[in-house]
Amino acid sequence: MGEVKKITIDMNEKALDQDLERYVARAMELGASNAKVVLADKIPVDERVTLKCQIPRCFGYGVGAQCPPNTLKPAELRDLLTKYTRAVFFIKDVPPDVIVRDKTTIKERVDAYQQLYKMVSEIESMAFYDGHYLAFGLAAGSCRHTFCGQLKDCQAMNGDKCRFSLVSRPSMEAVGIDVYKMVAQAGWDIYPIGSSATAQSVPKGTLAGIVIVQ
Ligand code: SF4
């Protein structure tokens, strides 16, 4: 961690542009394939994204504290985003055989998701200590499977402390962000990968993360 900055009334607004560029650079150092600064009002939030958690029903639906229907609703996120101006958005490309649902690559898949969650939490932490103390991050997939997949339940759903409270986050899609659209908007490549996709049928997998900074 660098030097912790004093809190100012404007939340260090003057330093914001430089700080955002540092977060982009740090995302790339941490393994992002692409990263950029985006405007908060250009983040696409759509109720149909969380509809797709239920139809067809995702194995993560309802079984973790950070997934629908237990997390922030799209309307709540949309409202919150009106209070922010800028965010750092990044993707991490993964090989096709790692992203498709193949039992032989579970370890590599979980490792890739864990790396993405760590990127999000580190950049969120950088922003916090730079004085952008209301920054918050969103990751990809489900923390239930990324961190607690070998465990019988989500501890937070039982009223106990989340086992990975500092690194666990809702995913972008869990709160209604249209990640496919957002990646395409950024000019980057992404492909629809569902249960039937095979490693031969897709060029790559894409995991996305975002830190809404200020
Ligand atoms: S206990 Fe595990 S599944 Fe539950 S919120 Fe924390 S990381 Fe996610």
pLDDT digits (tens), the chain, 214 positions:
778 999 999 888 889 999 999 999 999 999 999 999 999 999 999 999 999 999 999 999 999 999 999 999 999 999 999 999 999 999 999 999 999 888 899 999 999 999 999 999 999 999 999 999 999 999 999 999 999 999 999 999 999 999 999 999 999 999 999 999 999 999 999 999 988 999 999 999 999 999 999 9
pTM above 0.75, yes or no: yes
* Residue carrying the six token digits 């540092």: 22
Token code pair at residue 54: 């239920």
Count of H-run helices and E-run strands, the chain: 7, 4
Q: What's the gap in Å between 212 CA and the centre of ligand 1? A: 21
Q: Which residues line ligand 1 (CB under 6 A)?
A: 64-66, 143-144, 147-148, 154-156, 162-164, 168
Instruction: Give me the residue spans of the domains in the chain.
Output: 34-212
Residues 24, 17 contacting (CB under 8 angstroms): no
Q: Largest Cα–Cα distance in the chain? A: 53
The residue type at 62? G
